[in-house]
Chains A and B, each alone.
Chain A
Amino acid sequence: MALNKFRTKSPWILHYNAGSCNGCDIEILACLAPKYDIERFGMINTGNPKQSDIMLVTGPVTKRSRERLVDIYSQMPEPKVVIACGSCGCSGGVFRGMYNCEGGIDQYIPVDVYVPGCGCRPEQIIAGVVEALAILEKKTKDMEGSVKLHNDPIEQDGQTNRREVAAVI
């Protein structure tokens, strides 16, 4: 499909903090600021899952945030990619094994790109996003679900009801 290449030209970002220490978040925002200016690639931080293509998640996924993470992920229309930012997001980092955290984002939603670093650098984030764009271009529009905490969508009147796709524990 010819339209695929436009996905790479206007990736809109949703930024979600799943219990991060705000170190990575500051770096993500630094990307948007004049110095790194990722808007030159057509990126916007929308803050709205329904209009975004790339989900940047930071933090080790605390137990309070996992349902929200899955819920927001399920509200993003396909095609979509997820980038785990920072060591915590990739693997749990220093919080791995703690009682209140899960080890990384990929425990709950499928992650496409891992950006490591405790306080991942803006250059790394940009490199990660560029990597993600290559994946985004190849993706199909089939529905993607989370790894855990999900219900099956229901078919109704020729529509897919995905309102309750994210399950509650």
Chain B
Amino acid sequence: MNNSIIQILLIVLAPVLGGLIYGVERKVKARMQRRIGPPVLQPFYDFLKLMDKRKMMVHSTHAFLGILHFISLWFALAVLIMGGDFILIIFLHLLATALIILAGFSTRSIFSHLGANRSAISILAYEPVLVIIAISAYMLTGSFDVSALYASDVPVLFKMPLAFIALLMILPIKLKKSPFDISEAHQEVVGGVELEYSGIFYEAVYTAKWLDYIFCYLLVFMFAGNNWWLGLLLVALTFIYINALDNSTARVNYKQMLRFSFWVALPMAFLNLLMTMFHLI
């Protein structure tokens, strides 16, 4: 009972929480560069400001698909929080990504197209690894449900450490952080798919990015089993790792990204699968 209240609260407050994470992230990143950085509530100021802009769009379909992207991402996140089927969650997340990619392709804007193409390539880089991690988790718990992972007494991290490392490798791709931020590269493709959104329609895409934070950090949190403190610690460490990586690396091109994903991250996940399958740990 207690758990389900937390779950529902988490689902409802996910955008707020995501916004806070984003705010803290900007602050942390600034501190890493010895800057003061914006206030923690900065994302919400942005949110309120964007609400007040004159409404502008390219065409209605494009704007509508952006809103749909936000809804479907929130929905995928809800299924993750409620502890649904892992494979289904991965593909529901793919559905959300598919909608934003379709939105990017639906305009005649070159940067939007480039961004959508690059997002599609990013999917190729992270999806197989996630699926393999999901199967490893099944081998461990005997259930494809994420709730089995949340309820696990022994933290999953100790059972499949390689999967966690593989996850750490693909999280920057999923979160569009340097060095794998080709899909949104501001200096190259001006933000990619989100370029053509403005004002209140951009808000949907902007908030969806916050939801993505929650999604990714929940994947990390999952590795701690039912030990919440360990989970929070893992999330905090991952958060620092991702920001440090983002601050200290330069962007690679898509070939390097794919090569990294296929020759480093995927074999890592594969090794982990072998280990869990044959009970080597």
Contacts and interface: CB of A to CB of B under 8 A. Distances in A.
Given A9-B45, A39-B26, A51 B39 contact: no
A132 to B, nearest CB: 14
Given A37-B35, A39-B35, A78 B49 contact: no
Contacts, number: 81
Interface residues of B, number: 31
A50 B46 CA distance: 14
B56 A50 contact: yes
A34 to B, nearest CB: 5
Contacts of B253: none
Interface residues on A, range: 20 to 34
Interface in A131-153: 141, 143
A22 interface: no
Given A9-B45, A10-B42, A53-B49, A34 B198 contact: no
A68 interface: no
B38 A42 contact: yes
Interface stretch (B78-86, B188-196, B211-219, B238-246): B188-196
A50 B37 contact: no
**Interface of chain A: mostly helix, strand, loop or mixed:** loop
Contact of A40 (B34, B35, B48): B35
B4 to A, nearest CB: 35
Interface in B154-178: none
Interface in B14-38: 26, 30, 33-38
B42 A4 contact: no
A100 interface: no
Contacts of A9: 42, 45, 49
A40 B30 contact: yes
A141 B196 contact: no
Interface in A31-58: 34, 37, 39-42, 46-48, 50-51, 53
Most buried by B among A51, A53, A141: A51
Interface string B38-59: 1100100110111111111000
A141 B200 CA distance: 14
A40 B37 contact: yes
> Looking at B26, B34, B54, which has the most chain A CB atoms within 10 Å of its CB?
B54
Interface string A80-105: 00000000000000000000000000
Contacts of B50: 51
A10 to B, nearest CB: 4
Interface of A: 1, 3-4, 6-7, 9-10, 12, 34, 37, 39-42, 46-48, 50-51, 53, 77-79, 141, 143, 162
